[in-house]
Chains A and B, each alone.
Chain A
């Protein structure tokens, strides 16, 4: 009996029934599907994106971005100041992510216990869940030498006495290709696509792709009775004429940050303190490019293998904003669209493509009164938009990060350094770069800001006045709804979020399973 459907091919309305319906198949949805089906519950997974597998992954940006990313990898914040990368595919963002796997930092958990009443969230209590997920997804420190792009960060930082470390990755038999962002063609990446989702399917779960969950429908007792969905066309842009209705005992929003709050907002679930969509975080990311004397080929090799947490912990969490340093993979579309120049200037920059390296700084937002994050709103067609205002506090950190990255790149022997700001030129000396960075007007659409880590918007917490779900991910006001994804984080993580989601969702899915069986 087939249990995998592509709703874009539906020729009539469909109704499904299950014990648990899960919206979204990313880090949260995939993990929940496996665990709940292991407990004998009948699970249905609903995914807006397509069901693509290794054979479809041709390592081409022109195919991967429109098919596997939200809004063709060009999703923007409301004022267009931040370019947001989020997956939209079976496997969610894990199908296209870069495989870095970090546990939730202990200091972040300390802050959650103190400020959000999440008293169970101790390092020790979560460690078994992280350990178990690390085993499940084969997380291990990358054993091959870093590629030349990561090596710039390692060498430059070492020359300045800044500690770096090696990134743990969720891969098995990785070919070191460097195309994780376009979908792993070798099935080496242990994404939800090849781990938890097939495991759930093998236990009788149902998967429907190309279906957009529109709204939960409440019954007279204030519980969700059904979920109304739209079948999407083959491109995932327009709904077709057909509807999909899902009935279940329990419903899980795992549509990711932006996606899950949007679903709750469209459903008009009780939200007496107007918390849904608030405190959405981005790890706003600024970028510094450098042309090296040697070939870098930053498109090749494990994309992220070296990182530095040095600038996260030199000040207290609620002091000046801290940032994590990593490197991004560079491919022609991602690079050219991100470069802040046009015409001959850009063509010249692209002519140095093979010698170009880059460092990114991910700012840890959400730990300071001047960093309350953004707010998800609905547009007239019901689709979400994130309003993320920048504050002087965040810009100060962005400037400090551009300065730190330029120092590291020159220390690694960069010929020129190019901070990604519209006013920047390629600088040949550290002094010139630093003087320029100190004078940059720090504003949206002048400073290039990106995000691949959207978090929050359905914050968990003990106090319903300040949060949407409790520490188990259960909705404060609707008994048979849980949120199991990155949207439950009450602050940003201060590390790449996937393993935080795996571990916390594993915990909460086990608790839910015990309650349901």
Chain B
């Protein structure tokens, strides 16, 4: 099996695991731990540590605005990242998320971003889009960009 097929079957396995149902449903707390690890790398230099709660809340709100079927896709993605075997195989992150280093997480994001598999690129894209929506919609992200916020009418 070459590397690509190997990843492919791992994705399929993960999807099956997630699809198997009740045992692996959405787990908000551990998902927050994953996002608390990924967010500061995705938004490095922009997201200050004391804005973590706002970022996580923003992420939840962004997911809640998606259709049930896309929310389900996001839950599957979080399940793949949460379960140690798929975290290891697919994301290549060896340590549990809260212990993973910045470089390890950046390497994982980069691998998915440039992956030969469109599914992994789309998973990166989903994490990127949701993270940016969660943070750059917040007034606290704006000063660093120079965006003054909406004009005052009268």
Query: A-side interface residues toward B, CB under 8 Å?
Result: 58-62, 65-66, 71-72, 74, 76, 79-81, 83, 177, 179, 185-186, 235, 237-238, 299-300, 331-333, 335-337, 339, 342-344, 346-348, 350-351, 353-354, 379, 381, 383, 422-423, 443-446
Q: Assess A337 versus B133: contact at CB under 8 Å? Given A332-B142, A342-B128.
A: yes
Q: Is there an interface contact between B147 and A299, defined as CB atoms closer than 8 Å?
A: yes
A331 partner residues in chain B, CB cutoff 8 A: 147
Q: Is there an interface contact between A347 and B44, defined as CB atoms closer than 8 Å?
A: yes
Q: Is there an interface contact between B153 and A336, defined as CB atoms closer than 8 Å?
A: no
Q: Assess A343 versus B42: contact at CB under 8 Å? Given A332-B141, A337-B132, A354-B146.
A: yes
B138 partner residues in chain A, CB cutoff 8 A: 62
Chain B min CB distance to A428 (Å): 22
Q: Assess A238 versus B68: contact at CB under 8 Å? Given A59-B150, A336-B132, A342-B128.
A: yes
Q: Please give 12 more A-B residue pairs, beta carbons under 8 A apart, in addition to A350-B144, A354-B145, A381-B68.
A: A59-B151, A65-B133, A66-B65, A76-B70, A80-B125, A237-B65, A237-B67, A336-B132, A337-B133, A342-B113, A344-B44, A353-B145
Q: With CB as the reference atom, state the residue of chain B lying closest to A380.
A: B69
Query: Which residues between 63 and 116 of chain B lie within 8 Å of chain A, taking CB atoms?
Result: 64-70, 106, 109, 113-114
Q: Is there an interface contact between A383 and B69, defined as CB atoms closer than 8 Å?
A: yes
Q: Is there an interface contact between B66 and A74, defined as CB atoms closer than 8 Å?
A: yes
Pairs of residues from A and B, 6 with the lowest C-beta to C-beta distance, nearest first: A59-B150, A62-B137, A72-B65, A66-B65, A347-B45, A445-B121
Would you mind naming 13 contact pairs between A and B with Cβ atoms under 8 Å apart?
A: A65-B65, A71-B70, A237-B67, A332-B136, A339-B132, A342-B42, A342-B109, A350-B144, A353-B145, A353-B146, A383-B67, A445-B121, A446-B121
A416 to B79, CA, bound (A): 40
Query: How many B residues have CB within 8 A of the partner chain?
Result: 43
Chain B min CB distance to A125 (Å): 41
Count A-B contacts at CB 8 Å: 130
B113 partner residues in chain A, CB cutoff 8 A: 342, 422
B43 on the A face (CB < 8 A): yes
Q: Is there an interface contact between B133 and A333, defined as CB atoms closer than 8 Å?
A: yes
A331 to B149, CA, bound (A): 9
Q: Is there an interface contact between A185 and B45, defined as CB atoms closer than 8 Å?
A: no
B58 partner residues in chain A, CB cutoff 8 A: 62
Q: Is there an interface contact between A79 and B151, defined as CB atoms closer than 8 Å?
A: no
Interface SS of B by simple majority: helix
A353 partner residues in chain B, CB cutoff 8 A: 145-147
Q: With CB as the reference atom, state the residue of chain A lying closest to B69.
A: A379
A443 partner residues in chain B, CB cutoff 8 A: 118
A390 to B110, CA, bound (A): 24
Q: Is there an interface contact between B146 and A343, defined as CB atoms closer than 8 Å?
A: no
Q: Is there an interface contact between B118 and A79, defined as CB atoms closer than 8 Å?
A: yes
Chain B min CB distance to A347 (Å): 4
Chain A min CB distance to B51 (Å): 14
Q: Is there an interface contact between A354 and B147, defined as CB atoms closer than 8 Å?
A: yes
Q: Assess A347 versus B43: contact at CB under 8 Å? Given A60-B150, A71-B66.
A: yes
Q: With CB as the reference atom, state the residue of chain A lying closest to B62.
A: A72
Query: B-side interface residues toward A, CB under 8 Å?
Result: 41-46, 58, 61-62, 64-70, 106, 109, 113-114, 118, 121-122, 125-126, 128-129, 131-133, 135-138, 141-142, 144-147, 150-151, 153
Q: Is there an interface contact between B153 and A186, defined as CB atoms closer than 8 Å?
A: yes
Q: Assess A336 versus B69: contact at CB under 8 Å? Given A343-B106, A347-B45, A353-B147.
A: no
Q: With CB as the reference atom, state the residue of chain A lying closest to B150.
A: A59
Chain B min CB distance to A479 (Å): 33
Q: Name the one of A58, A235, A344 contacting B45, with C-beta atoms under 8 angstroms.
A: A344
Chain B min CB distance to A293 (Å): 15
Q: With CB as the reference atom, state the residue of chain B lying closest to A353.
A: B145
Q: Name the one of B46, B68, B137, B151 contacting A350, with C-beta atoms under 8 angstroms.
A: B46
Chain B min CB distance to A181 (Å): 12
Q: With CB as the reference atom, state the residue of chain B lying closest to A71.
A: B67
Q: Is there an interface contact between B150 and A58, defined as CB atoms closer than 8 Å?
A: yes
Q: Is there an interface contact between B65 and A235, defined as CB atoms closer than 8 Å?
A: yes
A118 to B42, CA, bound (A): 51
Q: With CB as the reference atom, state the residue of chain B lying closest to A332.
A: B136
Q: With CB as the reference atom, state the residue of chain B lying closest to A59.
A: B150
Chain B min CB distance to A235 (Å): 7
A350 to B46, CA, bound (A): 9
Question: Which residue of A58, A337, A347 has the most chain B CB atoms within 10 A of its CB atom?
Answer: A337
B42 partner residues in chain A, CB cutoff 8 A: 342-343
B129 partner residues in chain A, CB cutoff 8 A: 74, 83, 337
Q: With CB as the reference atom, state the residue of chain B lying closest to A423.
A: B114
Q: With CB as the reference atom, state the residue of chain B lying closest to A66.
A: B65
A395 to B138, CA, bound (A): 35
Question: Which residue of A65, A72, A81 has the most chain B CB atoms within 10 A of its CB atom?
Answer: A72
Chain B min CB distance to A334 (Å): 9
A66 to B125, CA, bound (A): 19
B41 partner residues in chain A, CB cutoff 8 A: 342-343
Q: With CB as the reference atom, state the residue of chain A lying closest to B142.
A: A332
Q: Is there an interface contact between A445 and B122, defined as CB atoms closer than 8 Å?
A: yes
A235 to B70, CA, bound (A): 15
Chain B min CB distance to A34 (Å): 28
Q: Is there an interface contact between B44 and A60, defined as CB atoms closer than 8 Å?
A: no
Chain B min CB distance to A339 (Å): 8
A336 partner residues in chain B, CB cutoff 8 A: 132, 135-136
Q: Is there an interface contact between A332 and B145, defined as CB atoms closer than 8 Å?
A: yes
A344 partner residues in chain B, CB cutoff 8 A: 44-45
Q: With CB as the reference atom, state the residue of chain B lying closest to A342.
A: B42
A404 to B146, CA, bound (A): 29
Q: With CB as the reference atom, state the residue of chain A lying closest to B73.
A: A80
Question: Which residue of A61, A62, A353 has the most chain B CB atoms within 10 A of its CB atom?
Answer: A62
